[in-house]
Amino acid sequence: MRRETEAGGPHAGVAEGSRAGGPETEGLGAREALAPDDTAPDERWSAVLVAGAPELSARLLAEVFGPLLALAPAERALLVRTLDAWLECGGSVGRAAVRLRCHRNTVFNRLRRLERLTSRSLSHPCELVETVLALEALRWSAGRG
C-alpha cells in the first residue's frame, strides 16, 4: 500500500523539498505559503492543510476513512470520538478512558478496531499523521455539509 520513491524510501527528498521554494513561496514564511491570509494564528496546522487542499483532503478521507465511513453513524461516531479523545489526551489510553467514562480496555479495543478499519497503525508516526489528517478532513467535510 505504501509507495516508495525511486530515490529510496517514502521520505526521500523531503528535506530538500522543504527547503526548496518555488516562486509562489519565495520570501514567504511557511504559514503564509500554506494558509490563506485570513487564517487565525491559533488554528491547528492540520486543519489549515486540509482546508487548503479540498480535493486532496477528500481523497485522503476516502482512502483512510473509507471503511469507517461505511459504518452505521452511531458506530462511526463512537470510534471517531474515541480517536479524538485519545489524541486530545496525548495518546494516553487511561486519560482518554476517564474522559470517555469507560474502561481503558474499551478504549484499546476501539482504537484497535479503528486501526483494522483504516489499515493504519496509530503507533507508526507516518500512519498516525495520515489518520490525524483524515480526521481533520472528516471534520472539515462535516462543517461544509
Judge if pTM exceeds 0.85. no
pLDDT in tens, 17-45: 333 333 333 333 333 434 444 545 456 78
Mean pLDDT on 97-114? 98
What 58-65 contacts at long range (C-beta under 8 Å, 24+ apart), as own/partner pairs, is 58/137, 58/141, 60/130, 60/133, 60/134, 60/137, 61/134, 61/137, 61/138, 61/141, 63/134, 64/118, 64/120, 64/130, 64/131, 64/133, 64/134, 65/118, 65/134, 65/135, 65/137, 65/138
pLDDT tens digit string along 59-69?
999 999 999 99
Q: What pLDDT, on a 0 to 100 scale, did the predictor assign at position 38?
A: 54
Does residue 92 have a pLDDT over 90? yes
In the chain the domains, ranked by start, together with CATH numbers, are 1-34 (no CATH), 45-144 (1.10.10.2840)
| Average pLDDT across the chain, whole number | 78
* pLDDT average, residue stretch 92-121: 98
pLDDT given for residue 65 in this prediction = 97
In this predicted structure, what is the pLDDT of residue 50?
Answer: 83
As a whole number, mean pLDDT of residues 76-88 equals: 97
